[in-house]
A and B are shown apart, each in its own frame.
Chain A
């Protein structure tokens, strides 16, 4: 099967310094690739390169013809709209898909509450819902389990597992994230800066 996304000799630079050594991987439909690395190794930058948000890199990235959806780690997100209104803005919004996701991620009672008033776990599930709502073939997740409780974690993993075969998933986590075992079978890639 042809890879959906492949990365060859990718090196990202910040202030002309390479963040990580040349990186190579490829993912196919249904694959889940877990990317690990210490703090500052460039995991988020790697995802930003793939998502087209960061330009200072060399090597090659072959992106899929379909869209990439990206759940960022950043705290800059829309806060003053409720999930229901925000969802309707998503490119390719479908009511039935939204209803299903709201139910699976246990957000039904909170869909009319401003995002700023949601708890950490609810907010992370809401942000994942928005990412899943958009039509995509590759899903990028930047530390999706950071600072959330086990029930939110299970809801997120459950939804990801249910629809795993529809996409390729890249998850960035820390090397010893306790929640990783919930993800299930995943390919591994350790981001290294040894050669920089």
Chain B
């Protein structure tokens, strides 16, 4: 079945890889975290550079590493400090900015790299299905292992009562650092998998595909059991419909419009859920 999906494999794979961390940040739909794109892009770039059959242009590669390093470090700090003060809701704004800016930035840089150095755009793994299946197993194991730790409860405690957390449960900064390191590790690995399974790393494709992957992950993280697949499948279907019906030159615009619409719906729903919970 997976082989028939071909280029869509990544759309199923990426959300599964990201779900463990996404689930951690969610509780009753109150929080919405899409802050994965920078880390995913970093993973994809590092994998692309590492698997390059010919040496990449050093100047271009160095420039990309600097841009990527600064972006990853800045996002890491912002997210850690936002969580330290118990306000992951701020992630919505941060992530929204990331979602628009980072794929375009990294996509542009990747395109520069490929043009300047001859880095291949093709998939580096001939048979990506075993990689996808392996990633799903790993993601499921990670979800199980995370549920055995106190991390989910600690995150809930910190976001509900940051002052009480500081007084009773330990350092919020240390917890935020641990969580963010975990998020970085998982998303970075997801980016590496993306590179291993995607057949096209051109700026346009890479940018929009990353958006779909992250969106699918966000939906999947809100589901349980078999419904976890609903997000990836829905994202794949919507993507397929847009690509089939919308002329190519408008497809990226439509993708982002669809994404904005979903974001508005989810945020509105999250606010309602939050009000219901408060009531």
Contact = CB atoms under 8 A, between A and B. Distances in A.
* Pairing of A with B: yes
A130 B165 CA distance: 11
Given A80-B27, A88-B150, A51 B167 contact: yes
Interface in A117-147: 130-131, 134
A62 interface: no
Interface of B: 27-28, 150, 153-154, 156-157, 160-161, 163-165, 167-170, 277
A72 B164 contact: yes
Nearest to B157: A78
A72 B163 contact: yes
A131 B168 CA distance: 7
A69 B167 contact: yes
B167 A90 contact: no
Given A90-B169, A130-B168, A134-B168, A78 B150 contact: no
Q: Chain A's interface: helix, strand, loop or mixed, by majority?
A: loop
Interface residues of A, number: 21
B160 A80 contact: yes
B161 A70 contact: no
Contacts of B154: 89
23 contacts: A51-B167, A53-B163, A53-B167, A69-B167, A70-B167, A76-B161, A76-B163, A76-B164, A77-B161, A78-B157, A78-B165, A80-B27, A80-B156, A80-B160, A85-B153, A88-B153, A89-B154, A89-B170, A90-B169, A91-B168, A130-B168, A131-B168, A134-B168
A78 B170 contact: no
B163 A89 contact: no
A89 B150 contact: yes
Contacts of A80: 27-28, 156, 160, 277
Contacts of A134: 168
B163 A86 contact: no
Contacts of A85: 153
A89 B160 contact: no
B168 A81 contact: no
Interface in A58-83: 69-70, 72, 74, 76-81
A79 to B, nearest CB: 6
B167 A86 contact: no
Nearest to A85: B153
Contacts of A90: 168-169
Contacts of A86: 153, 157
Contacts of A79: 160
In order of increasing CB-CB distance, the 5 nearest A-B pairs are A89-B169, A78-B157, A78-B160, A91-B170, A78-B161
Most buried by B among A53, A78, A130, A131: A78
A53 to B, nearest CB: 7
A177 B160 CA distance: 31
B163 A74 contact: yes
Nearest to A74: B163
